[in-house]
Amino acid sequence: MKRHLLMFGLSILIAGILFVGCEKNVTTILDEEAELEELVLDEENDYLFDWGIDDGSEDNLFSLNFRMSYPDGFNKPLTPIENVVRFGRIIKQRYPRTIIYRRTARDSALLFLERVLEGRFVIMSRIGSDSSNADSMVVYRKPLRHIVRRKAVFVPRTENPQGRRGWKLKAISLGQGNSPRSTIRIQKLVVINTAGDSLVFTDPLKTMMQIPEDIPRFSRGEEVTVQVYLTNNTSHPVYHPDTGATETVILHYSRSRKKRGRKLFTFMGTNEDGVNIYQGTWKVQEAPRVYHVIVDVIDNGTIFDSDPEMYPYNSVTWSCPYIVER
């Protein structure tokens, strides 16, 4: 009888130890997840910056000053917007990032980040020859919803493994974004610096870059060329009457968080595989620090046709951090 009581007591003791251990592990995991969530929701982290396509106001919209003039018999928009002067995005709602947490190892955590941006895509069309006066323009607005994604890897700080803020950002992927049901697919990006060295990206969310060693670096005054390879399976293409392009491609590059430069890409043609090729170059003039460059592809129907049902907001973006060196 005493033997049975002893065994029963030992069982209770072991179960209690295991319960306390499990409770401690669960608490530790929850604390880690809360700390990581706090880190990835930090809007001041330059590496996680993800809303660079926001033009802020209609005064900041991309200046195009371009007229789509279609010859007789040319496949043109059903409800065309003539004399487009400006277009861009006004983001009204930046929802907090949503997070999928995955502990990949004892000393590593992989987080999948996603954020929804909502607002309006705005097109300004000139009336007559005066584009300097807002009263001389017709403004078109389309509902906008753009989802941006990125992966991030965090590791413990070796100098402070126990306390709060015990994690640091170790690696990030490129950013990828798109409108719902976008018809555009970026196949490849090629980035070429002044020396002729090139970087090739084919899958943004599988391209993980260690911080800071893998982040692209450019010197002030350097000219950087970006080539974009893409397809667009829209069922209602709007062709540029001179080039045949069915998209407009823009490069957004940083001057600061609130001031961004923009560069219109040139359509280089379509290769034998039916892939459209665009190219643009920008001169790095920013002060030394971390920035983001965004390749922004917009279906021509979004810009040059006023029907939001036939031609809703249709766009894809890829983004990459870069470091400007002294």
DSSP state of 128: T
Measuring CA to CA, which residue among 297, 257, 262, 267 is closest to residue 282? 262
Task: State the pLDDT at residue 212.
Answer: 95
Q: Give yes or no for residue 25 having a pLDDT over 60.
A: no
User: Measuring CA to CA, which residue among 217, 228, 220, 288 is closest to residue 252?
Assistant: 228
Chain centroid to CA 233: how far? 21
Inform me whether the pLDDT recorded for 73 exceeds 50.
Answer: no
- Give strand pairing partners of 162: none
In contact, 312 and 85? CB cutoff 8 Å: no
pLDDT at residue 101 in the model? 80
| Per-residue exposure over 207-230, b if at least 16 CB sit within 10 Å of its own CB, e if not | bebebeeebeebeeebebebbbbb
In the block, which residue shows the tokens 């987080």?
111
| Residue whose C-alpha is closest to residue 270's, from 241, 234, 228 | 228
- The pLDDT score that the predictor gives to residue 42 is 83
- In the chain, the amino acid numbered 46 is D
pLDDT grade for 24, boundaries at 50, 70 and 90: very low
Contact 144, 123 (CB under 8 A): no
Confidence of residue 326 (pLDDT cuts 50, 70, 90): confident
What was the pLDDT predicted at 22? 45
pLDDT reported for residue 26 = 44
The per-residue pLDDT for 53 is 93
When mean pLDDT is compared over 87-91, 123-127, 312-316, the highest value belongs to 312-316
Q: Which pair of tokens denotes residue 68?
A: 């789509």
54, 55, 38: which is closest to 148 by C-alpha? Answer: 54
Start-to-end C-alpha separation, the chain: 81
Between 16-25, 76-85, 134-143, 196-205, the lowest mean confidence (pLDDT) is in: 16-25
Per-residue pLDDT, 10: 54
pLDDT-derived band at 82, boundaries 50, 70, 90: confident
Contact 40, 111 (CB under 8 A): yes
Domains, the chain, with CATH or none: 41-325 (2.70.50.30)
**So what's the pLDDT on residue 159?**
59
Task: Identify which of 147, 97, 145, 96 has the alpha carbon closest to the alpha carbon of residue 119.
Answer: 145
Q: Is the peptide bond before 212 cis (omega within 30 degrees of 0)?
A: yes
Tokens, residue 35:
């700390």
Give residue-wise pLDDT tens across range 269-292: 999 999 999 999 999 999 999 999
Exposure b/e, 97-126, CB count within 10 A at least 16 = b: beeeeeeeeeeebbbbbebebebbbbbbbb
**pLDDT tens digits, 155-187:** 988 755 555 458 899 999 999 999 999 999 999
Q: How many residues does the chain have?
A: 326
219 has a pLDDT exceeding 90: yes
The pLDDT of residue 142 is 97
What pLDDT does 317 receive? 99
Angstrom distance (rounded) from CA 43 to CA 37 = 12
- Selected residue with higher pLDDT from 146 and 244: 146
233-255: average pLDDT: 90
More confident residue, 150 or 21: 150
Task: Compute the mean pLDDT over every residue in the chain, rounded to the nearest whole number.
Answer: 85
- Separation CA 15–CA 12 (nearest Å): 5
Give the three-state DSSP class for 292: strand
Q: In this predicted structure, what is the pLDDT of residue 181?
A: 93
pTM above 0.75, yes or no: yes
pLDDT for 106 equals: 76
Between CA 43 and CA 293 the distance in angstroms is: 17
CA-to-CA separations, 14 to 4, 11, 77, 177, 254, in angstroms, rounded:
15, 5, 75, 51, 59
Q: Which two tokens stand for residue 77?
A: 């928009």
Nearest to 160 by CA among 168, 149, 152: 168
For the segment 40-63, the average pLDDT, to the nearest whole number, is 86
Which residues, 6+ apart, have CB-to-CB distance to 75 below 8 Å?
237, 238, 239
